Structure 1
């Protein structure tokens, strides 16, 4: 026993230590100062440097605090609005001298930099998020601070937040945090009124709806001026196009007139917003989103037009007119270039979309509601764009599998057509009579078609003549060989053939076979040889034409003789 006693005492001692630690942790987490458990910050004093007090009942919830702040600033009571700022980082003297000015500056920041939708703020004293769906991980937890806005000034980002504070045993109140108060001057320099507004009469600075009176006048004037600038840029580029020599440069300049004009208009408007005039947050945010989209779209269109001009130059230089008389390698290269164009367009659309979303901060402004409804939007987009998506997929399938190439001659639904272009959603076919047939890609891919240029453009053609039984086939064969060999588009003369392929009681069918370089040339050669053979028969052997033999009976002969006598 004396040997084991020290070991047991050590076990008992360790258990006591662990139990005391656990009790200490439980007591600390359960009691503490009470600020974390209850969801507020404990402070000794609040804005002791300010003169008048404020009704704390209007500061119990985040929504009521911001609603009260907006109400006071709209009436111009910045002294009262200063009580809604936690000025703990300022001395009492600075609170008296700077409190009202900081409140005014913050009101201007909200008015011009970030439109605040007060109805989205929590109406609970603890700021708890009530999420019935349970998708928000913050739901059901008391909060001590809430983000109102996140704004950029220069290369820095500043957050404006509400915090919940309690002095002693008083009821907690929601105020703008000291960290947010310290960032107000920097944000005011960025989003405050411009020097242009110093010359605006005071009556025009009154609110009228969501905007001020001077904004209702300035916005149409600014838009009209921007439109005139865009018109001038468009006319200038049009004049430059006329000076350039005809060809790819002039075509490229003519195609980028509208995108360049829009980009210039967007840049001028962005300059006005940054350095000249500062509109309210509703207008400024909307204009910045539109300008971002316009600039991204303009740059993307210019890049696409550059690719199209390059492809047009390559087409004219390498293949000239697109048809199946060009080498297969050149037509295959053109098909690959068109497929590459579609890939580039797809990449550009994705990049532009990502850029626009990153600039306008779509997900930050719309919040979790977008993510919650993403599945519904995806289903709706899939249903609405099913035909477009199927056409795009079929287009890539045709480009990769290459059952046809740019310039191939195809027989589609009984018509000879050249494949001119393969786009995302449709195929452009040039019919033999120079009309254009536009066919959806899915429709084309789901129908059988004959590619007359798949292996070679050569085609074996036939022409038929129906002649009397006394026609000399050997003589006609000699003439056919003579006329066929004289045709430029008839090749492989050893395959020329002329034979009797059918017979009736009154006539025989003579078929001539010939090999031509391509279907259209073969059709012309076939028509030319047929005309020459018909002219030879008409001039030298008219008796070869088929004629109808009528056999008369004796009664018919007698009846005819009697009719002739009566006529005499």
Structure 2
């Protein structure tokens, strides 16, 4: 064997040895990632009884809750990692810590045990592959998060292994340290401590005494709300008429809701405490009720200010009011919609942050982003389109509240501009509710953009021998007598069309505003028609039919042309 061959064999052996060591090291590191290695575990408690199951996170929590429900706190202590205590302290304090932690878990935060991992390695199973943590073993899990004295405390499970024994899932020492403090806040109330043990047995998801206490609790808080509602109503009637009285009457319901939530929270903090499933539900309801009541009170305050400004505009708003006042009212309503939108978003964010749904909501959105995008695009397209169109109308102001418009051949006043629709008031006092997006997609005529005054035109079809100058003088006389006709120097009358037997006369007049102009136009037309009927009925247009003797004897009728008809008309003969 040559020297080069020997060196090659040594190199291959070294490379193979390095690969084996790397693989062994990787396997060792992979095992270390699956559990926490400790030297000893709860040596002061002795051997765990057979009822204790600690292989998976789900088994550990279920076993812990079942044992504590049976008041076997010494056995439940084997599900706690008491390694930071001495053997004597483990025997002395283990059962008490188990009792306190069980009470905190039952009352602090509701959790579904079926949501906990059922695998020993706590691997996240995600067949869709959208969760980046899927497929990785875990050795530390947070199962609850509670607050006490302004600080948040996490209740965790961790996987431990002693030498060659099977790894087990236990509550971590960090979860046991704040247990006495959390027990003071979430532990049983003085009322529950005085109840007989028979009422503390479980019936469904709640204990027997809770099925009795919860209806009484709801009835008591509801009675408080009813009393506050009635009292605020009396105060509103006692106050002098005006903004204070209106504001008091408008905040009856939200103020009653706010005080109901305050009373309910006081009762939950100092009088009675329920199981976690009831406490979590009440907590969500109280947070939602308080947030919405405060938001509604703020919106009612804005509404009262808006109403006060509107009343200062004197009466019902229409296009006869000054343009600045109509524009101010439109701007105020746009501001109100903006405040409502900001309030709704702020209240929604506050509620989600308080009930700690952002984490799960975010994961859900990430897991099904494509599905939600399609659903929101289809279901929310009309609503979002109307909202954005509403803000577009409010900012660009192609219409203002009180403007007179012609929309789809109907005369309408703009009665209100809302989030998703525009309310129009027709001349006969009907209300048209039009989606904003539909309204902006259709052409309309705004008769009040710059000024409310407008030209009106009257057309009359008369005989060719009608006296134009006479009619012009009468038109000016009748128009000047109308109160709503303005700028008399712009009154005019012209012959705008002519046929073989008739002529069309057009009369133009300027009016102060469209609806009054329509009324003035009708009045002047009636007077002109009455003048012609009473004094010159021969000015009415008439059809001339010419016959001949040959027609009478049954011969062929000659063709009558325009010239012949005109000649016969001039002679005044009509057969």
Q: Does 1:483 align with 2:478?
A: yes
Contact (CA 8 Å) 1:148, 1:161: kept in 2 or not?
yes
Residues 507, 270 of structure 1: CA spacing in aligned structure 2 closer, same or farther, 3 A cutoff? same
Distance 1:342 1:366, change over 3 A: closer
Q: Which whole-Å deviations, capped at 9, do the CAs of 1:97-117 have from their partners, x for residues lacking one?
A: 222121111111111112232
Question: Deviations 1:88-131 (Å, cap 9, x if unpaired)?
Answer: 23332322222212111111111111223222222332333334
Residues 57 and 306 of structure 1: is their aligned pair in 2 closer, same or farther, counting only changes over 3 Å? closer
What is the CA–CA distance in structure 1 between the aligned matches of 2:548 and 2:136, rounded to whole Å? 117
Give matches, 1:413-432, under 5 Å. 413-432=408-427
Change in 2 beyond 3 A, CA 1:385/1:491: same
TM-score, length of structure 1 as denominator length: 0.86
Question: With structure 2 as the length reference, what TM-score do the two structures score?
Answer: 0.85
Over the residues paired in the alignment, what is the CA RMSD in angstroms? 3.0
Instruction: Establish whether residue 396 from structure 1 lines up as the match of residue 391 from structure 2.
Output: yes
> Do the aligned partners of residues 138 and 477 (structure 1) sit closer, same or farther apart at CA in structure 2, a change above 3 Å counting?
closer
Given candidates 115, 122, 126, the residue that maps to 2:121 is 126
Deviations 1:68-93 (A, max 9, x none): 11221122211110111112233323
Q: What is the deviation of 1:441?
A: 0.7
How many residues align? The count is: 535
**Which residue of the other structure, out of 210, 227, 239, is the alignment partner of 1:244?**
239
Instruction: Please name the residue that 2:296 is paired with.
Output: 301
In structure 2, the residue matched to 1:385 is 380
Q: CA deviation at 1:186?
A: 0.9
TM-superposed deviation, 1:32: 12
8 Å CA contact 2:52, 2:75 repeated in 1:
no
Shift of 1:331: 2.2
| Offset from partner CA, 1:126-157 (integer Å, 9 cap, x none) | 33333444444444443332212111112111
Matches within 5 A, 1:525-544: 525-541=520-536, 544=539
Distance 1:248 1:506, change over 3 A: farther
| Bigger mean CA offset, 542-551 vs 403-412 | 542-551
Unpaired runs of 5+ residues, structure 2, are 1-13, 553-575
Alpha-carbon distance between aligned partners in 1 of 2:545 and 2:128, rounded to the nearest angstrom: 96
Matched, 1:462 2:457: yes
2:512 counterpart residue number: 517
Q: Does 1:282 align with 2:277?
A: yes
Query: 1:442 is matched with which residue: 427, 431, 437?
Result: 437
Report the Cα distance in structure 2 between the residues aligned to 1:260 and 1:190, rounded to whole angstroms: 28
Aligned to 1:258: 253
Unaligned runs of 5+ in 1: 1-18, 558-568
Equivalent in 143, 148, 159 of residue 153 of structure 1: 148
- Cα distance change of structure 1 residues 120 and 205 upon mapping to structure 2, 3 Å threshold: same
For the 8 Å contact 1:84–1:176, the answer to whether it is kept is yes
Q: What are the equivalent positions in structure 2 for 1:172-187 lying under 5 Å apart?
A: 172-187=167-182
Could you give the per-residue CA deviations for residues 246-276 of structure 1, whole angstroms, max 9, x where no partner exists?
3333332222222222222222212222221
Q: Report the Cα offset of residue 413 of structure 1.
A: 0.9
Query: What SS does structure 1 have at the residue aligned with 2:442?
Result: coil
Contact 1:51 1:96 in 2 (8 A): no
Distance 1:344 1:175 in 2: 50
Structure 1 segment 84-123 matched on structure 2, within 5 A: 84-123=79-118
1:49 equivalent to 2:44? Answer yes
Equivalent residue of 2:522, what SS? Answer: helix
- Whether contact under 8 Å (1:467, 1:509) holds in the other structure is yes
Contact persistence 1:61–1:122 (CA under 8 A):
yes
Structure 1 residues 366 and 202 mapped into 2: Cα distance closer, same or farther (>3 Å)?
farther
Change (3 A) 1:546 1:248: farther
8 Å CA contact 1:319–1:330 kept in 2: the answer is no
Deviation of the 1:434 alpha carbon: 1.5
- Alpha-carbon spacing, 1:301–1:102, altered in 2? closer, same or farther (3 Å): same
* 2:53 counterpart SS class: helix
- 2:367 pairs with 346, 365, 372, which one? 372
Who is 1:61 aligned against?
Answer: 56
Paired with 2:46 and 2:124, the residues of 1 have a C-alpha distance of: 35
Residue 316 (structure 1) aligns with: 311
1:338 maps to which residue?
333
Once the two structures are superposed, what CA deviation does each residue of 1:163-205 show, in whole Å capped at 9, x if it has no partner? 2222333222221111111111111111111112133232111
Q: How do 1:219-230 residues align onto structure 2 when only pairs under 5 Å count?
A: 219-230=214-225
Q: Decide which of 239, 264, 286 is 1:291's aligned counterpart.
A: 286
Q: Which residue of 1 aligns with 2:206?
A: 211
| Distance in 1 between residues matched to 2:177 and 2:40, nearest whole Å | 18
Distance in 2 (alpha carbons) for counterparts of 1:428 and 1:434: 12
> Is 1:202–2:162 an aligned residue pair?
no
- 2:429 and 2:214 mapped to 1: Cα distance? 51
Instruction: Provide the C-alpha distance between the structure 1 equivalents of 2:170 and 2:148, rounded to a whole number of angstroms.
Output: 23
2:403 equivalent in structure 1: 408
Q: Distance in 1 between matches of 2:539 and 2:30?
A: 117
Q: Does structure 1 retain, via aligned residues, the 8 Å contact 2:145–2:155?
A: yes
SS of residue paired to 1:49: helix
